[in-house]
Amino acid sequence: MMEHKKGRVDRSETFDEFLASEGILAETEEAALKQVIADQIKAAMQTEGLSKTDMAARMKTSRRQLDRLLDPGYSSVTLMTLRRAAAAVGRTLRVELV
């Protein structure tokens, strides 16, 4: 990796390498993954015609907990919560290592 000079862009460096060099790659990937999951849940809710209140009731949780689940900035979501959300919209949760 080349040293950065002001006003110069190191075109040999990938975006992931840049994020890693800044120490924020894992954090950025987590936020992106959380956003994707939240978007998928919102889309499934819309397809099912569910309001947040209806969705929370199906999940047997509070509206506040559902808001946390849908908030990309809130990273402390358990697999059990994701599983309940998926079941509430007739989906299954699949987690895999790649």
Per residue in 53-93, pLDDT (tens digit) is: 999 999 999 999 999 999 988 888 999 999 999 999 999 99
Q: How confident is the model at residue 5 (pLDDT cuts 50, 70, 90)?
A: low
Question: Who's near 82: CB < 8 A, 6+ residues apart?
Answer: 37, 69, 93
Q: Which residue has the tokens 């007739």?
A: 90
CATH 1.10.260.40 fits 15-88, yes or no: yes
Determine the straight-line distance between the first and last CA of the chain, rounded to whole angstroms.
26
Distances in Å between the alpha carbon of 91 and those of 22, 27, 41, 77? 37, 27, 10, 18
What is the C-alpha to C-alpha distance for residues 29 and 32, in angstroms, rounded to an integer?
A: 5
Confidence of residue 3 (pLDDT cuts 50, 70, 90): low
